[in-house]
Amino acid sequence: MKKILHKIDKARLRWVKAEFALLMFFLLMLAMVFSKPEIIGYASTNIHSQDLNLILDQSQSFYLRSIGIDKVHLTSLTVSGEVFGEGTSSIYLDNEKGIRHLVFKNMKREDSTNNRITGTSTAESFLSGLSVTANAVPPKEELPILDLLEGGTIPGFEPLRPGYKTIEGQFNHACVDSCLLHGDDFIGDRFRLDFFVEPGTRLVIKEMVYTTLEEI
């Protein structure tokens, strides 16, 4: 009788192991199906810096257009500049395919002890965001590959939400949601930057830094 029970226990253990193996295999297949590997093989991350003297006192769109004929794989974008006045200002990066990310906003909660403008990233956090999924070559400085072209004015501005305040002054490498652009959402030859500025406020953009990916 003990031998029979022992055989039954061994058979049950083998079945549990088989079920676990099948479950893990199923989960692995689901992960492979629904995940989007960003890069296959080696990739080079290039850093591009452009000095600007963009002064905005109204809401307006601008376009980032590829200088060459090739599409650009944009992986991050930051802006540096200064806000003059007590009104609101914000910047959004749009791929013109239904996806947009907040780059900068000069609004903070009133109870916040941090008096820095929303989205200002430190140099360390920005550089750490340059890593990509795959074997990557260290980032290198490159010449700009995007032209900033003036678009038309856009209506309205972002109102100040209750419990928030605006912050005036300088900001460096602001990138609320654009510090690291995942996947292939920003591959193309043109992207849009929407600047929203409340009347009576002036937004000055002094520098734009972005990274691109180049497969090797």
Same domain, yes or no: 46 and 9? no
Same domain, yes or no: 46 and 65? yes
Same domain, yes or no: 3 and 74? no
Same domain, yes or no: 162 and 131? yes
Closest CA to 148 of 105, 181, 206, 191: 191
The better pLDDT of the pair 120, 91 is held by 91
Map 34-48 to HEC letters: HCCCCCCCEEEEEEE
Same domain, yes or no: 28 and 99? no
Total number of domains constituting the chain: 2
Same domain, yes or no: 29 and 56? no
What Rg, from alpha-carbon coordinates, does the chain have?
A: 24
Same domain, yes or no: 53 and 101? yes
Check residue 1 and give its pLDDT.
Answer: 56
Beta strands per DSSP E along 67-174: 72-84, 89-94, 100-105, 107-109, 135-142, 146-153, 164-166, 169-174
Specify which residues 180 forms β-bridges with: none
Check residue 44 and give its pLDDT.
Answer: 76
Same domain, yes or no: 132 and 208? yes
- Contact (Cβ atoms closer than 8 angstroms) between residue 195 and residue 91: yes
3-state secondary structure of 150: strand
Per-residue pLDDT reduced to its tens digit, 94-103: 999 999 999 9
Same domain, yes or no: 25 and 95? no
Same domain, yes or no: 175 and 207? yes
CB proximity list for 177: less than 8 A, separation 6 or greater: 101, 102, 103
Check residue 129 and give its pLDDT.
Answer: 40
Same domain, yes or no: 3 and 67? no
- Contact (Cβ atoms closer than 8 angstroms) between residue 189 and residue 68: no
Same domain, yes or no: 5 and 49? no
Per-residue pLDDT reduced to its tens digit, 159-215: 999 999 999 999 999 999 999 998 899 999 999 999 999 999 999 999 999 999 876
Whether the predicted pLDDT of 3 surpasses 80:
no
CATH number for the domain spanning 162: value is 2.60.120.260
Whether the predicted pLDDT of 24 surpasses 90:
no
Which pTM value belongs to this model? 0.72
Structural domain including 87 reads 42-215
- Contact (Cβ atoms closer than 8 angstroms) between residue 183 and residue 34: no
Per-residue pLDDT reduced to its tens digit, 119-163: 545 434 444 344 333 444 456 667 889 999 999 999 999 999 999
